[in-house]
Amino acid sequence: MKLAYWMYAGPAHIGTLRIASSFKNVHAIMHAPLGDDYFNVMRSMLERERDFTPVTASIVDRNVLARGSQEKVVNNIVRKDGEERPDLIVLTPTCTSSILQEDLANFVERAQMDAQGDVLLADVNHYRYNELQAADRTLHQIVKFYLEKARKKEQLPQGKTENPSVNIIGISTLGFHNQHDCRELKQLMKDLGIEVNEVIPDGASVHNLKNLPKAWFNLVPYRELGLTTAQYLEEEFNLPYVDITPMGVVETARCIRKIQQIINEQGTNVDYEEYINNQTLYVSQAAWFSRSIDCQNLTGKKAVVFGDNTHAAAITKILAREMGIHVVLAGTYCKYDADWFKEQVSEYCDEVLISDDNGEIGDAIARIEPSAIFGTQMERHVGKRLDIPCGVIAAPIHIQNFPIGYKPFCGYEGTNQIADLVYNSFTLGMEDHLLEIFGGHDTKEVITKGISADSDLNWNKEAQAELNKVPGFVRGKVKRNTEKFARERGFSEISLEVMYAAKEAVGA
């Protein structure tokens, strides 16, 4: 047993659901007790999704506990197949239901006999994998299933596309700025004269998965999601992949050079150096920003970075290599992939922290006292408590991290966005500090106060206590309205009764 207040990565089934609901016309059914369909709320709220989340639960209740699911899961699968005609139904256990050790594979087989669409059981162990690992595995499982199916039916398209083309693998729902990254990556491919063959899983149809081998190569922008699929495609179809995250000026260039090498090996003769040079020096503002005097002021400032592997590693490199910021500590909660992280960042920071305990990272931040933090929403709150500004660079995230405006982290526009994020975090910190030294903007005492700030009305003890219970941000309003009400009716003392009467009358 572990005492836990917070977790960075969710349980395995969340990963599976993220993949399933990213595809078009794929439905997921959770074998879960009432209340476990919280995923629908997250998707509907965080992504402001207009459509119903294609996830339902086959409820595990007392009857299931006593007698097993029996026909229930099969019926639910077949019913959903009839109602919505999905191409694929993915059945996923949850932590709870996996202890029941029901033969879900058997249910899937039986349901498959009656269902028009395909039915799969997500192959993830809930006590060994987290959300990210499960997402990676589920994507691989679905891709493999459809490629094998196509091969069996001899429907695999032969050969490559005429022009160089790419599959972008790993864009998913509830991923950090994934939608924007996807658009930016497509633009980048267009600039490079590369066709986008397929983007998976987001918005993809399972029927198109058989076309994956037609691409010249795969691009896996995120370390956490898609690598297993890319490796599978390399083994089976000899399809090379690029797994350099194009985040930051240097890494984007490295990614493009790798793409150049891969497609030239397949018979083209492209040279992207001029493009890289032009983008770096004139289109993206990040390189110029590093040189400008603003960024000079950031030299040697201390920062702490924490997040998932992809973002924490990329941001660490950007801060240290491209902006001259002193990264005291870089950390990740992807414990299962810690070696990769250490190898990526060790030359760019003093310390590496591998932990999924938010207390540990909080303590480290308190000890280091950096000028800025780049982390998850959790670190933002640590920053708030310690009065240190924080830029959010990785999940877990809030609704604020699903901006409507265009905010990629990848590619050249991504470098601009990151520069803004970094710079804004630091200047705000500086400003705060200056304010403290000089005692705030307004040094003159305010002489005339607003309406009834000083009141002639007497609040009795109970009423005063009640007023103090009103949340701070509306207390002033409640006080004013109550006093206005009391004055109009000629009460000289404000008691609880007067307060409630005021609330009833004017909604104070």
Q: Which residues are annotated as a binding site for [4Fe-4S] cluster?
A: 36
Binding site membership for substrate: which residues?
A: 429-430
Binding site membership: which residues?
A: 36, 429-430
Nearer to another protein, 48 or 335 (CB): 48
Structure tokens belonging to residue 83:
């109602």
Is-contact 313 344, C-beta < 8 A? yes
Shortest reach from residue 33's CB to another protein, in Å: 3
Residue indicated by tokens 């297993």:
228
Nearer to another protein, 5 or 473 (CB): 5
Angle, CA 120 vertex, CA 156 and CA 118 arms, to 5°: 60
**List 103, 294, 350, 432, catalytic entry:** 294
Shortest reach from residue 256's CB to another protein, in Å: 36
Per CB under 8 A, residues contacting another protein are: 1-7, 10-11, 13-14, 32-38, 40-42, 44-45, 48-53, 56-62, 65, 76, 83, 85, 94-96, 99-100, 126-128, 130, 378, 381, 384, 396, 398, 462, 466, 469-470, 496-497, 500, 503-505, 507
Strand positions, DSSP E, 411-489 = 458-459
| 37 has catalytic annotation | no
Cα torsion 30, 12, 235, 271: sign: positive
Cα distance between residue 144 and residue 138, in whole Å: 10
DSSP per-residue codes, 387-431 = T--EEE-SSS--GGGS-SS---SSHHHHHHHHHHHHHHHHHHHHH
104-to-68, 81, 91, 146 alpha-carbon distances in Å: 11, 17, 8, 20
C-beta atoms surrounding 491 within 10 Å: 18
Nearer to another protein, 367 or 384 (CB): 384
Shortest reach from residue 301's CB to another protein, in Å: 25
Nearer to another protein, 398 or 433 (CB): 398
Shortest reach from residue 4's CB to another protein, in Å: 5
Shortest reach from residue 177's CB to another protein, in Å: 19
Radius of gyration (Cα) for the chain, nearest Å? 28
Closest CA relative to residue 332, chosen from 130, 121, 196: 130
Nearer to another protein, 430 or 496 (CB): 496
SS3 353: strand
Q: Please list the active-site residues.
A: 294
